Structure 1
Amino acid sequence: MTDQAATPLIFIPENGVEAGPLDDGQRAWAKANGFAGQRGRLLAMPDAKGGIAAWLFGTGPEQGRPVFVAGLASASLPEGDYQLQGSFGDPTLASIAFRLGAYRFESYRAAPPAPRLVLPEAADAGEVERQVAAASLTRDLINTPANDLGPDALEARARDLATRHDMSIAVIKGNELLEQNFPMIHAVGRASAQAPRLIDLRWGKETDPKVTLVGKGVTFDTGGLDIKSAAGMLMMKKDMGGAANVLGLAHAIMDAGLPLRLRVLLPVVENAIAGNAFRPGDVLRSRAGISVEIGNTDAEGRLILADALALADEEKPDLLIDMATLTGAARVALGPELPALYSTDDSVAAGLAAAGLASEDPLWPMPLWSPYSSLLSSRIADLNNTASGGHAGSVTAALFLKRFVSKAAAWVHLDIFGWAPDARPGRPVGGTDQAIRAIYGLLRQRYSA
Structure 2
Amino acid sequence: MNPIDCYAPAGTAGARPLHLVSKDALGAWREVQPETVITWLDAHGFDASAGSCVVVPGADGTPAAAVLGIGDTLDPCAYAHAPRALPAGDWAPAGDLDADALRALQLGWGLGSYDFDRYRKAKPARARLALAAADAETLDVLAATARVRDLVNTPTQDMGPDQLEAVARGIAEAHGARFEAITGDALLEQNFPAIHAVGRASHRAPRLLALRWGDDAHPHVAIVGKGVCFDTGGLDIKPADGMRNMKKDMGGAAHAIALAELVMARKLPLRITLLVPAVENAIGPDAFRPGEVIATRTGVSVEIDNTDAEGRVILGDALAYAGEQSPDLVLDFATLTGAARIALGPDLPALFSNDDAMAQAWLDAGMQARDPLWRMPLWRPYLRYLTSKVADMANAGSKMAGSVTAALYLERFVPKDMPWAHLDTYAWNDSDRPGRPAGGEALGLRAAYGMLRAKSGG
User: What is the TM-score of this pair, normalised by structure 2?
Assistant: 0.93
Q: How does 1:424-439 map to 2 (within 5 A)?
A: 424-439=433-448
Alignment equivalent of 1:142, drawn from 121, 136, 152: 152
Letter in 2 for 1:28: T
| Contact 1:91–1:120, Cα closer than 8 Å, also in 2 | no
Residue 54 (structure 1) aligns with: 65
Deviations for 1:114-173, whole angstroms, at most 9, x for unmatched residues? 43222355x6x1111100111111111000000111111111111111111111101100
| Contact 1:78–1:115, Cα closer than 8 Å, also in 2 | yes
Query: d(CA) in 2 for partners of 1:420 and 1:78?
Result: 26
Query: d(CA) in 2 for partners of 1:41 and 1:386?
Result: 47
Deviations for 1:362-383, whole angstroms, at most 9, x for unmatched residues? 1101110111111111011111
Q: How does 1:312-331 map to 2 (within 5 A)?
A: 312-331=322-341
Query: d(CA) in 1 for partners of 2:425 and 2:132?
Result: 32
Post-superposition offset of 1:76? 3.3
Alignment equivalent of 2:163, drawn from 148, 153, 165: 153
Post-superposition offset of 1:409? 3.1
Post-superposition offset of 1:4? 4.2
Give the match's secondary structure for 1:446. helix
Post-superposition offset of 1:74? 2.3
Letter in 2 for 1:118: A
Residue 117 (structure 1) aligns with: 129
Alignment equivalent of 2:378, drawn from 368, 372, 378: 368
Residue 226 (structure 2) aligns with: 216
**Residue 290 (structure 1) aligned with residue 274 (structure 2):** no
RMSD across aligned positions (CA): 1.8
Alignment equivalent of 2:102, drawn from 63, 84, 91: 91
Q: How does 1:119-134 map to 2 (within 5 A)?
A: 119=131, 125-134=135-144
Post-superposition offset of 1:22? 3.1
Query: d(CA) in 2 for partners of 1:192 and 1:78?
Result: 48
Number of corresponding residues: 444
In structure 2, the CA distance between the partners of 1:101 and 1:336, relative to structure 1 (3 Å rule), is same
Give the match's secondary structure for 1:68. helix
Residue 382 (structure 1) aligns with: 392
Post-superposition offset of 1:444? 1.0
Letter in 2 for 1:373: L
**Residue 304 (structure 1) aligned with residue 314 (structure 2):** yes
Query: d(CA) in 2 for partners of 1:273 and 1:185?
Result: 15
Post-superposition offset of 1:3? 5.5
Query: d(CA) in 1 for partners of 2:379 and 2:342?
Result: 18
Query: d(CA) in 1 for partners of 2:62 and 2:373?
Result: 43
| Contact 2:114–2:146, Cα closer than 8 Å, also in 1 | yes
Give the match's secondary structure for 2:129. strand
**Residue 23 (structure 1) aligned with residue 34 (structure 2):** yes
| Contact 1:313–1:407, Cα closer than 8 Å, also in 2 | no
Q: Tell me the percent identity.
A: 50
Query: d(CA) in 1 for partners of 2:172 and 2:355?
Result: 30
Query: d(CA) in 1 for partners of 2:24 and 2:140?
Result: 35
Give the match's secondary structure for 1:111. coil
Q: How does 1:157-306 map to 2 (within 5 A)?
A: 157-306=167-316
Give the match's secondary structure for 1:307. helix
Deviations for 1:266-293, whole angstroms, at most 9, x for unmatched residues? 0000000001000000001100111100
Query: d(CA) in 1 for partners of 2:193 and 2:255?
Result: 25
Query: d(CA) in 1 for partners of 2:401 and 2:34?
Result: 57
Letter in 2 for 1:248: A
Letter in 1 for 2:77: F
Post-superposition offset of 1:28? 1.4
Deviations for 1:400-429, whole angstroms, at most 9, x for unmatched residues? 000000156310000000001123442211
| Contact 1:316–1:407, Cα closer than 8 Å, also in 2 | no
Give the match's secondary structure for 1:147. helix
Gaps of 5+ in 1: none
| Contact 2:227–2:278, Cα closer than 8 Å, also in 1 | yes
Alignment equivalent of 1:344, drawn from 323, 348, 354: 354
Give the match's secondary structure for 2:269. coil
| Contact 1:84–1:120, Cα closer than 8 Å, also in 2 | no
| Contact 1:314–1:407, Cα closer than 8 Å, also in 2 | no
Residue 108 (structure 1) aligns with: 119
Query: d(CA) in 1 for partners of 2:174 and 2:49?
Result: 43
In structure 2, the CA distance between the partners of 1:87 and 1:418, relative to structure 1 (3 Å rule), is farther
Gaps of 5+ in 2: 1-9
User: What is the TM-score of this pair, normalised by structure 1?
Assistant: 0.95
| Contact 1:135–1:248, Cα closer than 8 Å, also in 2 | yes
**Residue 71 (structure 1) aligned with residue 80 (structure 2):** yes
| Contact 2:168–2:257, Cα closer than 8 Å, also in 1 | yes
In structure 2, the CA distance between the partners of 1:182 and 1:189, relative to structure 1 (3 Å rule), is same
Letter in 1 for 2:385: L
| Contact 1:205–1:260, Cα closer than 8 Å, also in 2 | yes
